[in-house]
Amino acid sequence: MCLSIPARIISIEGNMAEVSCGGTIFKAGLQMIENAKPGDYILLHAGFAIQKISDEEAVETIRLIKEMKDAMNDI
């Protein structure tokens, strides 16, 4: 099973981007997507951007992840 998480591109240098996910900064390879720019949301998996996603999809996914985290804290 693969798991990817939404991250927002902060900056790009060559084929690498600095991305933010939940306030944590990661490096992400951009080799698998085209036309990436700062401000775009991507799905981050194993250090690579595997797909660009809409702002709406990213916000909804982040909301669902937070909801699952909160539910786990209630156990």
Domain with residue 33: its CATH number is 2.30.30.140
Q: What is the dihedral of CA 46, 52, 57, 63, to 10 degrees?
A: 30
Confidence of residue 2 (pLDDT cuts 50, 70, 90): confident
- What pLDDT does residue 73 have? 87
- Token digits of residue 16: 């690498």
- Token digits of residue 62: 């982040």
- What pLDDT does residue 61 have? 94
pLDDT digits (tens, 9 = 90+) for 16-71: 999 999 899 999 999 999 999 999 999 999 999 999 999 999 999 999 999 999 99
- What pLDDT does residue 1 have? 64
**Which domain, by its residues, includes 20?**
5-73
Number of structural domains (the chain) is 1
How many Å apart are CA 31 and CA 50, to the nearest integer?
Answer: 9
Confidence of residue 74 (pLDDT cuts 50, 70, 90): confident
